[in-house]
Amino acid sequence: NAGVTQTPKFQVLKTGQSMTLQCAQDMNHNSMYWYRQDPGMGLRLIYYSASEGTTDKGEVPNGYNVSRLNKREFSLRLESAAPSQTSVYFCASSDPAGLNQPQHFGDGTRLSIL
Amino acid sequence: QKEVEQNSGPLSVPEGAIASLNCTYSDRGSQSFFWYRQYSGKSPELIMSIYSNGDKEDGRFTAQLNKASQYVSLLIRDSQPSDSATYLCAVTVSGTYKYIFGTGTRLKVLA
């Protein structure tokens, strides 16, 4: 049972390059999320998709775009990478029917921008 | 701005002792509360969910919720060195599908 799968696991970019982080879940969850985690800052929400066809900004959306490709997949794109975007990125999914259910996390993508 | 606050630690306890981790939140309308464990270099892993006032026990873990005081806690009994990790408190934001995480408490269990 794969759960939430993120690719790639590691990436090094140069300033100004673009890339897309991929996320897929096999739990039939409606909601998907992208977070970044920096030392001392905790998990900060970048974008989320409450359901297929919808996306909304989180706490730190600047410099990022997202696509909810279908119910399973939610991608995060950096159009012009900046050193401030060096971080660990986590994708999560949940099924908030009724009381919000817990989120399930992928293994993360460790991204360095030089 | 909705907030979740945790003491960053480190909280050091001897092996076999009870570790007590605390979390306060600002959104009075929050309905769902979670504790995650995160080992260094790994992703958060769900330990406990709690939705109503009182205690909820699962093995060595007990979550406690007091909505009037806007306070959630996690007790770990018979702490083991393998419990050494960062513990994240997460709270749902009322009226949304969003979750807010605290910055985590680092726990060190000393053998």
Per-residue model confidence as pLDDT tens digits over A46-65: 999 999 999 999 999 999 99
* Per-residue confidence (pLDDT) for residue A99, from 0 to 100: 64
Indicate yes or no: CB of A50 within 8 angstroms of CB of B97: yes
Q: Which residues pair with A89 in a beta bridge?
A: A36, A109
- Pick from B91, B75, B88, B81: nearest CA to B32: B91
Q: Kindly report the average pLDDT of chain A as a whole number.
A: 93
Q: Tell me the nearest-neighbour CA distance from B102 into chain A, angstroms.
A: 6
* Per-residue confidence (pLDDT) for residue A2, from 0 to 100: 76
Q: Nearest by CB to B31, which of A48, A100, A102?
A: A100
pLDDT for residue A35 is more than 70: yes
A20-43 in b/e form (b: 16+ CB < 10 A) is ebbbbbeeebbbbbbbbbeeeebb
- Pick from B77, B11, B38, B17: nearest CA to A35: B38
Q: Which residues contact B69 (CB under 8 A, 6 or more apart)?
A: none
Find out whether A100 and B31 touch, Cβ atoms under 8 Å. yes
Average pLDDT over residues A6-31: 96
Would you call B62 helix, strand, or coil by DSSP? Answer: strand
Residues of A numbered 20-39 whose beta carbons fall under 8 angstroms of chain B's beta carbons: which are they? 31, 33, 35
Q: Nearest by CB to A103, which of B8, B51, B99?
A: B99
pLDDT for residue B34 is more than 90: yes
- Pick from B58, B66, B70: nearest CA to B25: B70
Residue A39 confidence class, pLDDT cut points 50, 70, 90: confident
Q: Which of A36, A37, A100, A104 to mutate to test the interface with B (most CBs of B within 10 A)?
A: A100
Q: Tell me the nearest-neighbour CA distance from A108 into chain B, angstroms.
A: 6
pLDDT for residue B14 is more than 80: yes
Average pLDDT over residues A91-105: 84
Q: How many helices (H) and strands (E) does chain A have?
A: 0, 11
Q: Nearest by CB to A48, which of B31, B46, B97?
A: B97
Average pLDDT over residues B55-83: 97
Indicate yes or no: CB of B103 within 8 angstroms of CB of A40: yes
Q: Nearest by CB to B43, which of A40, A42, A108?
A: A108
pLDDT for residue A108 is more than 70: yes
**CA angle, corner B97, sides to A37 and B57, nearest 5?**
80
A45-A49-A55-A56 Cα dihedral, nearest 10 degrees: -30
